[in-house]
Amino acid sequence: ATFIDGVAKNKKELYDLMLAAHYLDIKPLLMLCCARTAAFIKDLSFDEIEDALDFRSPEEIAEAMKASGKADEADKKGEADDKKGEDDDKKEDIADKKEDE
């Protein structure tokens, strides 16, 4: 705890360190950052946790995704998943018809 408190002096530094540890695949450092974050929020109410972790409303998330182009990617993925589900349903219907014969 002394190390992480000395390196990450505030919330932003802690989150930046956590992202770097994740990106560089340094699991022990990532776990240390996660443990520090958990200790920080363990006694907070839900509203306080939202504020502390800078959670956004669903509308803000959708707006940010749209601005970054991620919304289009998510829509395309959703359409592909829907098509796959429809194809699976058709296969099941064909299998059911064969069983009935």
Provide the residue ranges of all domains of the chain, joining segments of one domain with +. Answer: 1-55, 56-101
pLDDT at 45: 85
pLDDT at 87: 61
In 10 A of CB 7, how many CB atoms?
14
Cα separation, 58 vs 53, in Å, equals: 15
Reduced to 3 states, what is the DSSP secondary structure of residue 84?
Answer: helix
Residue ranges of the chain whose pLDDT lies below 70: 1, 5, 70-101
- Taking the chain, what is the end-to-end CA distance rounded to the nearest angstrom? 68
pLDDT at 55: 73
Nearest Cα neighbor of 32 from 52, 18, 11 is 18
Residue 16 exposure: Cα atoms within 13 Å on the Cβ side: 7
pLDDT at 30: 92
